[in-house]
Structure 1
Amino acid sequence: MIAGVDGSASSIGAVEAAAREAHLRGVGLRIVRASGQAAGHLPAGAPPWNPADHGLEPIVRGELARAEERAHAIAPDTEITRSVVAGEALEVLEAESRSASLAVVGSRGLGSFAGLLLGSTAVHLAAHGRCPLMVVRGRPDPSGPVVLAVDGSEAGEAAVEFAFAEAALRKAPLAAVHVWNTWSERAYEGPGDPLIAVVADADLIREAEQHLLDETVASWQKAHPEVVVERRLVRSRIRPALIDASRGAQLVVTGARGRGGFTGLLLGSVSQALLHHAHCPVTVVRGKE
């Protein structure tokens, strides 16, 4: 498991969350600090940027030491290592994610512009990382449920698996939330046409969407009988409904792309909305490619 740090308060919160996750899983935690600057920000022909060349190495090492101290305070029995990796943060953490079970970052880094709700590192990793990404944000309720955003897509199956496993680790209830509306195409065969769907029988759509929710949850509920599952079928706009469901939750789990995603997009609009506006940490789980 890895946690990315940059010296910001947000990244220290990410380290604390990562330490808890590592303790739950019984795995080690690697705290990573990138030390470099994107090539596009350097003059042509300039040597790679290195903090040691600018007298910043003691600061970087100090940031890592403080992060490790916080992690040990949270999980004293967890093996924790730290390292400075040469390179720009986006590239470093994407590479690190290839061998990690989970990557954890804060929602805002030192490189964020004023007014932005989410740092570019988190967005990039959610779309391009090779393992599930937890973005630490909001105020989680430790007694609340793990909320699973159910979309019924094949790509979203990995998120369902992760959410059940996470609820089992945390000994928390799972709220499986599926949002529908009369624009749904699920009740129709053949090419979906939202102009037709808008005049459809709402009861017919509701029945189809309930079936989708039940089918998605059933097999994983059998695999994790210890997890108490609440199935929520909500008729609403998808993004506001899921953001609202994050109130009082300890974690929201979503796939990177839902059944409404456009081909070629690596991160769907629902995932992005949760990353920017959820009231608790969000884990984005990419489907198998």
Structure 2
Amino acid sequence: MSDPVPVVVGVDGSPSGRDALDWAVAEAATQVRPLWVVHACPPPIDTGPLGPLPSLSPYTGTGDVLHEAARRAALVAPEVEVTTRLVSGGPVPALLGQRACLIVVGGRGRRGVRRALAGSVSVAVSARAQCPVVTVPPLREVVPGPSRAKVVVGVDGLDLSSRAIGFALQAAAQRGVGLTALHAWTPRPPADSGGLADDWAASRAVECRALDGALAGWRERFPTVDITPKLACDDPAHALAVESAGAALVVVGSRGRGCMTGVLFGSVSQVLRHAAHCPIAVARPRAVTAGRARAA
């Protein structure tokens, strides 16, 4: 029997990294999986034939970061097997290079550039990872709201959200909570003001059928999870951000067309990284991740 695939978390010594670590070790305990704690640092600077100077070594202090992370993980869930890994290079390839069932990253760095880099890491990893990626916001900013004690999943009525629904249901089942399946849409304006009522009713009926179709079969696969379908006439990112207040986790799918596309044109997952009040999971369709693996 093969060893279980680990949960992987990136740490950098920042408060955001510690929040990600706390969430990741609790998730590893829930899934009964080992935890790999990854810390990336740039390669040594070659100063000439004598090699890098000790004072310029980028590895100074990295042992402290990993030691503190291992100690903290043991306090949160002592039953979890923890492995620390120091990787030379940038954080994105360091995390993508790990064998993982789930990758967890912090949502923000310490300040200024660190905050921007933390955001870019989560975007790049989410766009390229072959497994779901969870971005953990500062836990002190988590607030109560309409979806307390639930997992929320964004449903777009397409096959793109199928993996997100499955991941969200598994998360809800593990936590013993219900699932809110939210489908948001913006109706087209009617051709004339007299057709407003008819167009609204027809539009809502179409979206309701799309939501029911996306959830077909999932209740039988997860009979212990209370699934609540919810329609919202709203921008999807805004509707999910509102619903995230008090939720344990929000899960969204992604077309996976690359992080630059997401940065330039925006997406639901991009907006939620800044607006949501709870951890955000991005679960891309398997066809996309498989295609990227073959291309690599």
TM norm structure 2 = 0.81
* Cα distance change of structure 1 residues 35 and 116 upon mapping to structure 2, 3 Å threshold: closer
Deviation string for 1:38-81 (max 9, x for gaps)?
A: x9xx89x999x989662453511111111111111111111111
SS of corresponding position for 1:156: helix
Q: CA deviation at 1:208?
A: 1.1
Does the Cα contact within 8 Å between 2:125 and 2:133 map onto a contact in 1? yes
Is 1:166 matched with 2:171? yes
* Cα distance change of structure 1 residues 127 and 92 upon mapping to structure 2, 3 Å threshold: same
Give 1:76's aligned residue. 78
Higher alpha-carbon deviation: 77-86 or 112-121: 112-121
Does the Cα contact within 8 Å between 1:10 and 1:107 map onto a contact in 2? yes
Greater helix fraction, Structure 1 or Structure 2: 2
Percent identity of equivalent pairs: 33
SS of corresponding position for 1:131: coil
Give 1:187's aligned residue. none
Is 1:151 matched with 2:156? yes
Which residue identity does 1:102 align to in structure 2? L
Which residue identity does 2:18 align to in structure 1? I
CA distance in 2, matches of 1:110, 1:94: 22
CA distance in 1, matches of 2:282, 2:107: 13
Higher alpha-carbon deviation: 169-178 or 108-117: 108-117
SS of corresponding position for 1:113: helix
Does the Cα contact within 8 Å between 1:36 and 1:51 map onto a contact in 2? no
Does the Cα contact within 8 Å between 2:181 and 2:228 map onto a contact in 1? yes
Give 2:3's aligned residue. none
Q: CA deviation at 1:180?
A: 1.7
* Cα distance change of structure 1 residues 239 and 266 upon mapping to structure 2, 3 Å threshold: closer
Does the Cα contact within 8 Å between 2:161 and 2:252 map onto a contact in 1? yes
Note the 1:127-276 alignment, pairs <5 A: 127-137=127-137, 138-139=141-142, 144-183=149-188, 201-257=199-255, 265=261, 269-276=267-274
* Cα distance change of structure 1 residues 110 and 128 upon mapping to structure 2, 3 Å threshold: farther
CA distance in 2, matches of 1:280, 1:51: 43
Could you tell me which runs of 5 or more consecutive residues in structure 2 were left unpaired when the two chains were aligned: 1-6, 289-296
SS of corresponding position for 1:2: strand
* Cα distance change of structure 1 residues 19 and 66 upon mapping to structure 2, 3 Å threshold: same
Which residue identity does 1:91 align to in structure 2? P
SS of corresponding position for 1:61: helix
Deviation string for 1:159-190 (max 9, x for gaps)?
A: 0110001100111111111112213xxxxxxx
CA distance in 1, matches of 2:175, 2:39: 28
SS of corresponding position for 2:113: coil
Which residue identity does 2:234 align to in structure 1? S
Could you tell me which runs of 5 or more consecutive residues in structure 1 were left unpaired when the two chains were aligned: 184-193
Alignment length, in residue pairs?
269
CA RMSD for the aligned pairs? 3.3
Q: CA deviation at 1:15?
A: 0.6
Deviation string for 1:221-266 (max 9, x for gaps)?
A: 11001001111111122221111011111110000239xx99x946
Q: CA deviation at 1:117?
A: 9.7
Q: CA deviation at 1:118?
A: 5.5
CA distance in 1, matches of 2:161, 2:174: 20
CA distance in 1, matches of 2:121, 2:53: 19
SS of corresponding position for 2:101: coil
* Cα distance change of structure 1 residues 31 and 114 upon mapping to structure 2, 3 Å threshold: closer
TM norm structure 1 = 0.82
Does the Cα contact within 8 Å between 2:109 and 2:115 map onto a contact in 1? no
Deviation string for 1:196-241 (max 9, x for gaps)?
A: 7997811111111111111212311110010011111111222211
Does the Cα contact within 8 Å between 1:35 and 1:51 map onto a contact in 2? no
SS of corresponding position for 2:216: helix
SS of corresponding position for 1:57: coil
Which residue identity does 1:278 align to in structure 2? A
